[in-house]
């Protein structure tokens, strides 16, 4: 990051930092609330992976689309999701993005181009390719980006989607967040190649490895892939090497992670890396960084307050939204 | 007798069968190093080694079909699919391969495969992690389906399933893993296709499986206080079905209420109601009733989730209605 960051100017870097703080503070707060038993279900945080979510979404336009994963809070926030409405969804409130029906793993806002987080590993990959197919059929210039993990790249859905997207030169970006683990299983125990990006060769598309903790590197790689997609040159596979700092889910004791590995990655915390780069560019920016943190802290506090004060959906809501036009007998009988 | 949890019963069944038969091996996501996400196979890797306790990649379609291949070669794989909701990812392996192999080869081979998967709602896990999908499997000839409700049944049925030469889907209710119960010491087997009468009664037959057996028993307690004597049958094995136990109960009580957590439409309760209607019409004093999940997607919000599946009050109300009270 030492070399490239300064080419983007202080303002851009501060914008990235602000977005990464939102993602970090949102998930830290969610984990805290969950541990306190103030939230039901379970949650998967992306603490440590903020640079991929933010770097990728900053390279997209508001009219572009994404599919997110079960670890999708960061993806959705980075694509423009509002913290308060997301938090309300995590609380199962009527004011949430999905009226409390989806919860943490299913946040969607079609208006923001968020085609949905997903509880089924790998399922979003061909859905993103399908969105890209729609752009091709309709003649739109939108790009769709699929976020997925290293684990998901072993699902059949990944391979089938890459093949079709490549054969039909679809405007889609496959962004693998390789955080090394699928729950407890280290990727190298179930995959023989070192870089998931190498699989691109099999489908004759570019396969790029980037430092997933370097927001600028992710931003540049996704910008290039988006330009390629918009030019009609087809999909790209980008592998962002990153790390999840917390457990797979909250409460996961993480017995499968070596302590030195955790420590080494903590030193490469994407927020600290970006902070260092900003201060190297302008030592006087420290105040600005602190102000950003404060501003986001207030935003997240407001989000929690909004979520807590919001009403639960009423019992009648349990039977609505099953179909576009609900037929009483089909739902009730 | 000893008291263990439903989860420990699974553990014991797997371990005992692996010790008894070298051909038994287990595979699935997070089974080995982590000992499964529900902690059911802790220590298995150390005891049995990595050829028999396999951490798979997240490739359900691939590893379930591989289990079919291994079964064709004489091994007895026990696959864990982390949630029943993920079985659609590997449906071809289950529906078109495992289930049909014996028939389409004219009986040359069998697929002694067990697929274990947690099902059921109640943990605020939303639409893709809370379903009861047993009816999908009961619809497929060639598959057997069990859904135990107690630790003893879990242990006895899972061991029998592992020894069975046909593919068996074992649906475990995730809210029951911590439930405790008495299990006989020593070898304990329950033949597939044998129902259990959990509570004898004269006035009405309540048929249930998995977690809803407990709701049915609770309802029966309430009803007993009102002078209604309900017989509660725990099907525990859906295919094969213990028709004899079920039919003799309905012949005695003349009334049947079927309870399941799965959505009502297309649920296995409909099949049972039809069989009772066809075969036992003359014994019936009232139409067969179904108490089942709403025909909706499991909602996330705690404020909504509890409305979707039957509770003891719903069951008691259905029984009263059947009896015209
Ligand atoms: C089809 C399917 N299989 C298994 C799971 C259970 N599961 C949820 S997340 C996960 C690990 C995913 O790993 P990866 O794709 O690397 O993403 P990460 O969690 O590391 O972000 C698993 C196995 C699931 N939700 N869906």
Convert the pLDDT of each residue in A161-198 to its tens digit.
999 999 999 999 999 999 999 999 999 999 999 999 99
Half-sphere exposure of A40 (CA within 13 A, CB side): 24
Whether the complex's predicted ipTM surpasses the cut of 0.90 = yes
User: Quick one: closest CA in B to A98, which residue?
Assistant: B300
Mean pLDDT of B26-45: 96
Letter string b/e over residues A203-223, b meaning 16 or more CB atoms within 10 A of that residue's CB? bebbbbbbbbbbbbbbbbbbe
State what percent of residues in chain A have pLDDT above 70.
97
Cβ(B29) to ligand 1 under 6 A?
yes
Catalytic site residues of B? 60, 129
Please report residues of B whose CB lies closer than 8 A to that of A322.
295-297
User: Quick one: closest CA in B to A327, which residue?
Assistant: B295
CA distance A63 to A217: 22
pLDDT band at A328 (very low <50, low <70, confident <90, very high): low
pLDDT of residue B319: 98
Q: Do B57 and A332 touch (CB under 8 A)?
A: no
pLDDT higher than threshold 80 for residue A47: yes
Instruction: Dump pLDDT digits (tens) for B50-79.
Output: 999 999 999 999 999 999 999 999 999 999
Mean pLDDT of A76-97: 98
pLDDT higher than threshold 70 for residue B217: yes
Instruction: Dump pLDDT digits (tens) for B160-172.
Output: 999 999 999 999 9
pTM of the model: 0.95
Spatial CA neighbour of A105 closest among A89, A121, A119, A87? A119
In the block, tokens 């000893």 appear at B2
A75 CA distance to ligand 1 middle (Å): 16
pLDDT of residue A327: 67
Mean pLDDT of B126-136: 97
Instruction: Dump pLDDT digits (tens) for B78-128.
Output: 999 999 999 999 999 999 999 999 999 999 999 999 999 999 999 999 999
The closest CB to that of B302, out of A40, A190, A315, belongs to A40
Residues linked to residue B145 through DSSP beta bridges, in sequence order: B169, B239
Q: Do B300 and A119 touch (CB under 8 A)?
A: no
pLDDT of residue A7: 83
Residue nearest to atom 4 of ligand 1 (CA): A121
Instruction: Give me chain A's average pLDDT, please.
Output: 95
Longest dimension (CA), chain A: 67
For residue A149, give the ligand 1 atom closest to its CA.
15
pLDDT of residue B164: 98
pLDDT higher than threshold 70 for residue A329: no
Instruction: Dump pLDDT digits (tens) for A189-226.
Output: 999 999 999 999 999 999 999 999 999 999 999 999 99
pLDDT higher than threshold 70 for residue A290: yes
The closest CB to that of B59, out of A98, A154, A183, belongs to A154
pLDDT of residue A324: 85
CA distance B192 to B170: 11
Give yes or no for a contact between B150 and B196, defined as CB atoms under 8 angstroms apart. Answer: no
A181 CA distance to ligand 1 middle (Å): 9
């Amino acid at each position: 990051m030492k070399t490239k960051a300064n080419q983007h100017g202080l303002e851009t870097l501060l914008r990235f930092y602000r977005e990464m703080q939102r993602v970090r503070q949102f998930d830290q707060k969610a984990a805290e609330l969950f541990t306190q038993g103030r939230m039901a279900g379970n949650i998967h945080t992306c603490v440590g992976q903020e640079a991929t979510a933010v770097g990728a979404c900053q390279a997209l336009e508001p009219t572009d689309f994404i599919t997110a994963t079960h670890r999708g809070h960061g993806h959705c926030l980075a694509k423009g999701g509002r913290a308060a409405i997301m938090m309300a969804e995590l609380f199962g409130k009527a004011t949430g993005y999905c009226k409390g029906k989806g919860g943490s793993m299913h946040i969607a806002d079609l208006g923001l181009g968020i085609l949905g987080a997903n509880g089924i590993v790998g399922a979003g990959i061909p859905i993103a390719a399908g969105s890209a197919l729609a752009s091709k059929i309709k003649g739109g210039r939108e790009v769709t980006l699929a976020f997925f993990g290293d684990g998901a790249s072993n699902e059949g859905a990944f391979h089938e989607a890459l093949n079709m997207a490549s054969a039909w030169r679809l405007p889609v970006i496959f962004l693998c967040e390789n955080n090394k683990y699928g729950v407890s299983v280290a990727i190298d125990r179930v995959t023989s190649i070192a870089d998931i990006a190498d699989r691109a060769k099999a489908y004759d598309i570019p396969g790029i490895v980037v430092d997933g903790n370097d927001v600028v590197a992710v931003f540049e790689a996704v910008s290039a892939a988006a330009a390629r997609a918009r030019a009609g040159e087809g999909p790209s596979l980008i592998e962002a090497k990153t790390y999840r700092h917390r457990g797979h889910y909250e409460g996961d004791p993480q017995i499968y992670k070596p302590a030195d590995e955790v420590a080494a990655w903590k030193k490469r915390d994407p927020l600290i890396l970006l902070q260092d780069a900003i201060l190297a560019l302008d030592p006087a920016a420290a105040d600005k960084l602190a102000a950003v943190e404060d501003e986001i802290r207030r935003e997240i506090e407001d989000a929690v307050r909004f979520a807590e004060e919001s009403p639960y959906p009423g019992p009648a809501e349990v039977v609505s939204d099953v179909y576009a036009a609900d037929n009483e007998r089909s739902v009730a009988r | 007798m000893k008291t263990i949890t439903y989860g420990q019963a699974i553990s014991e069944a797997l371990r005992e069968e692996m010790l008894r038969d070298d051909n038994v091996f287990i595979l699935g996501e997070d089974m080995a190093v982590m000992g499964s996400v529900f902690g059911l196979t802790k220590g298995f890797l150390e005891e049995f080694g990595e050829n028999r306790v396999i951490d798979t990649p997240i490739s359900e379609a691939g590893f379930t079909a591989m289990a079919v291949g291994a079964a064709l070669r004489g091994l007895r794989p026990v696959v864990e699919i982390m949630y029943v909701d993920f079985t659609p990812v590997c449906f071809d392996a289950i529906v078109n391969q495992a289930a049909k192999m014996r028939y389409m080869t004219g009986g040359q081979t069998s697929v002694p495969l067990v697929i274990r998967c947690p099902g059921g709602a109640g943990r605020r896990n939303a639409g893709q992690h809370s379903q009861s999908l047993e009816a999908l499997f009961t619809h497929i000839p060639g598959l057997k389906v069990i859904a135990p409700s107690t630790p003893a049944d879990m242990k006895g049925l899972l061991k029998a399933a592992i020894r069975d030469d046909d593919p068996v889907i074992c649906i475990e209710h995730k809210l029951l893993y911590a439930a405790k119960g008495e299990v006989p010491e020593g070898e304990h087997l329950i033949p597939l296709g044998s129902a259990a009468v959990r509570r004898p009664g004269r006035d009405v037959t309540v048929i249930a499986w998995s977690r809803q057996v407990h709701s049915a028993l609770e309802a029966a307690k309430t009803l007993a206080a009102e002078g209604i004597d309900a017989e509660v049958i725990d099907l525990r094995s859906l295919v094969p079905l213990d028709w004899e136990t079920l039919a003799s109960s309905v012949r005695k009580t003349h009334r049947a209420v079927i309870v399941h957590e799965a959505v009502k439409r297309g649920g296995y309760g409909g099949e049972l109601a039809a069989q009772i209607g066809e075969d036992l019409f003359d014994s019936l004093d009232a139409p067969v009733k179904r108490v089942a999940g709403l025909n909706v997607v499991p909602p996330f919000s705690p404020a909504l989730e509890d409305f979707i599946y039957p509770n003891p009050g719903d069951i008691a109300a259905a029984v009263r209605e059947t009896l015209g009270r």
